[in-house]
């Protein structure tokens, strides 16, 4: 299928420097940040512009060759693994900011820019792009859009979807469409913009995006609240919201995670407590001051054993950076780290954390839990070793239980990481068979030859987690 002629055609389209067939390169792009999923692509292709993307897509469509668009491969649901071979599409030549518009409060960018670089660019102009996935130091904005990435500021500011105003998209037939624009309001037909946000590269290739910006908050304060009891931490979360305060960030770390993060970051985090809330508020100085005072009081009323405000911006930055490093820190401990993102209504956080503890005990596996408490978006993280097949089976069963529990509490199987190949076997739990079918109809309508990131979102015939040995 991947013939010499196709190789030649690819070289003609993007230039021979921008197609790579070397085994060593194919190996590099055979996996992403998700353990247990690996498969070799046939080529790595780096188009230089939308027109080249369109030609590559047409070639693939005509020849039934899979295409996997890939940002920096930080995906945690095996969403960027070339499970059926074909082409991995890189955006290293399409990484430019095209326009920052201070009157319309928008940024128009190519997909390949690093999220944090984009954030720095807009902040330098007193503007703000809130979505901040933990991977933002290396993730690309195109990947964020395809995954509808969340982050630590989701509680107050929403997720990537809430900031995408318009897209340029290459459809699976090679046609180029533009959706939305620098527009606060646009209801011209179906909302293709949001359909593509979070579609995990299965419907087309995003080649340009116009994103909404907001004014940068005047100031920010960061606080830690320590608990000897997970319930008390969860009650604090509920009480803060019930008191009509919506903090920018409201993160939870359990004791095992705290210990590991402190070992890694060495910034003096408390490791003797059962749970910590990391709380940030931003906005006008006077409002932040008032909110933080009230939050501190609410935490104390809910039996926080200590509440402390970061004294300097550096100390605050150290705390959030430590939180963002949780996955990296945990990953040092065992050969394999499997991080999930089951999400529940905020009011069910305590129930979910306790359920995770019980499930870990039941299957005798090690699970550390941290995450976005304000969003009900937890990251139960299992430390294991894929070579231990017997343990891995128990890990799989534990996660299956976690998904069922989350659904039972009114939650979802994935809050911000996407379905990918990893959770496709569980999608029906959340959306039902009729929901899966509706989604499949959209997929078939856009991509009848199933060339766009095949094997993702939709499970193969068998409703079971796909485990590919690595």
Window 6 to 65, contacts with a copy of itself (CB under 8 A):
none
CB 449 → a copy of itself: shortest distance, Å? Answer: 14
Beta bridge pairs of residue 222 = 280
Query: According to the binding rule CB under 8 A, does residue 155 interact with a copy of itself?
Result: yes
DSSP state of 216: P
Q: Which stretch binds a copy of itself (CB under 8 A): 172-180, 251-259, 261-269, 462-470?
A: 172-180
For a copy of itself, the binding residue among 26, 53, 159, 307 (CB under 8 A) is: 159
For a copy of itself, the binding residue among 161, 274, 334, 394 (CB under 8 A) is: 161
- Whole-number Cα distances in Å, 230 to 225, 321, 354: 12, 23, 8
What does 19-78 look like in DSSP terms, one character per residue?
EE--HHHHHHTS--SSTT-----SEEE--SSHHHHHHHHHHHHHHT--EEE-SSS--SSS
Residue ranges in 82-101 that form contacts with a copy of itself under rule CB under 8 A? 101
Query: According to the binding rule CB under 8 A, does residue 375 interact with a copy of itself?
Result: yes
- CB of 85 or CB of 217, closer to a copy of itself: 217
Query: According to the binding rule CB under 8 A, does residue 270 interact with a copy of itself?
Result: no
For a copy of itself, the binding residue among 69, 111, 142, 415 (CB under 8 A) is: 415
Backbone angles phi and psi of 205, in degrees to 5: -110, 125
Question: ∠ at Cα 388 (386, 392), nearest 5°?
Answer: 65
User: Do residues 54 and 169 touch, judged by C-beta distance below 8 A?
Assistant: no
For a copy of itself, the binding residue among 33, 298, 427, 459 (CB under 8 A) is: 427
For a copy of itself, the binding residue among 297, 306, 387, 410 (CB under 8 A) is: 410
For a copy of itself, the binding residue among 98, 435, 464, 469 (CB under 8 A) is: 435
Contacts of 439 (CB under 8 A, 6+ apart): 427, 431, 457, 458
Query: According to the binding rule CB under 8 A, does residue 176 interact with a copy of itself?
Result: yes
3-state secondary structure of 112: coil
Query: According to the binding rule CB under 8 A, does residue 195 interact with a copy of itself?
Result: yes
CB 112 → a copy of itself: shortest distance, Å? Answer: 22
- CB of 6 or CB of 197, closer to a copy of itself: 197
CA-closest candidate to residue 351, choices 231, 240, 256: 231
For a copy of itself, the binding residue among 181, 309, 351, 366 (CB under 8 A) is: 181
Helix (H) or strand (E) holding 265: helix 255-265
Query: According to the binding rule CB under 8 A, does residue 245 interact with a copy of itself?
Result: yes
Question: ∠ at Cα 244 (248, 319), nearest 5°?
Answer: 25
Residue ranges in 102-131 that form contacts with a copy of itself under rule CB under 8 A? 102-105, 126-127
CB 171 → a copy of itself: shortest distance, Å? Answer: 6
Q: Give the whole-angstrom CA distance, residue 184 versus residue 155.
A: 22
Count residues near a copy of itself (CB under 8 A). 92
């Amino acid at each position: 299928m991947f013939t010499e002629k196709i190789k030649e055609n690819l070289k003609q389209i993007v230039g021979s420097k921008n197609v790579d067939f070397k085994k060593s390169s194919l190996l590099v792009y055979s996996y992403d940040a998700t353990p247990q999923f690996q498969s070799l692509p046939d080529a790595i292709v780096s188009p230089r512009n939308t027109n080249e993307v369109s030609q590559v897509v047409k070639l693939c469509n005509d020849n039934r060759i899979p295409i996997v668009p890939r940002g920096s491969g930080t995906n945690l649901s095996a969403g960027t693994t070339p499970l059926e071979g074909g082409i991995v599409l890189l955006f290293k030549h399409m990484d430019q900011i095209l326009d920052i518009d201070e009157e319309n409060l928008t940024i128009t960018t190519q997909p390949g820019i690093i999220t944090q670089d984009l954030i720095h660019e807009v902040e330098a102009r007193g503007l703000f792009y809130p979505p901040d996935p933990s991977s933002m130091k290396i993730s690309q904005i195109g990947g964020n859009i395809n995954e509808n990435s969340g982050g630590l500021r989701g509680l107050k500011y929403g997720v990537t979807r809430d900031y995408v105003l318009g897209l340029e998209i290459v459809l699976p037939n090679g046609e180029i469409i533009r959706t939305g624009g620098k527009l606060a309001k646009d209801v011209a037909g179906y909302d293709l913009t949001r359909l593509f946000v979070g579609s995990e590269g299965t419907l087309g290739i995003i080649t340009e995006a116009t994103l909404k910006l907001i004014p940068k908050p005047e100031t920010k304060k960061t606080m830690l609240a320590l608990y000897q009891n997970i319930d008390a931490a969860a009650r604090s979360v509920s009480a803060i919201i019930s008191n009509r305060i919506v903090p920018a960030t409201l993160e939870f770390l359990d004791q095992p995670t705290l210990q590991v993060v402190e070992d890694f970051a060495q910034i003096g985090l408390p490791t003797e407590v059962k749970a910590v809330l990391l709380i940030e508020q931003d906005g006008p100085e006077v409002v932040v001051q008032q909110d933080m005072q009230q939050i501190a009081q609410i935490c104390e009323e809910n039996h926080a054993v200590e509440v402390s405000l970061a004294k300097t911006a550096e100390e605050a930055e150290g705390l959030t950076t430590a939180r963002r490093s949780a996955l990296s820190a945990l990953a040092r401990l065992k050969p394999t780290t499997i991080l999930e993102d089951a999400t529940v209504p905020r009011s069910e956080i305590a129930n979910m954390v306790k359920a995770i503890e019980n499930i870990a005990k039941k299957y005798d596996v090690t699970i550390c839990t941290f995450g976005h408490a304000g969003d009900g978006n937890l990251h139960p993280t299992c430390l294991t070793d894929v070579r231990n097949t017997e343990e891995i089976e128990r890990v799989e069963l534990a996660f299956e239980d976690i998904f069922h529990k989350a659904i039972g509490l009114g939650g979802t199987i994935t809050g911000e990481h996407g379905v990918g190949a990893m959770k496709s076997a569980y999608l029906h739990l959340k959306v039902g068979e009729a929901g899966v079918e509706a989604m499949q109809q959209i997929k078939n309508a856009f991509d009848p030859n199933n060339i766009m990131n095949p094997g993702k979102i939709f499970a193969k015939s068998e409703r079971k987690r796909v485990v590919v040995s690595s």
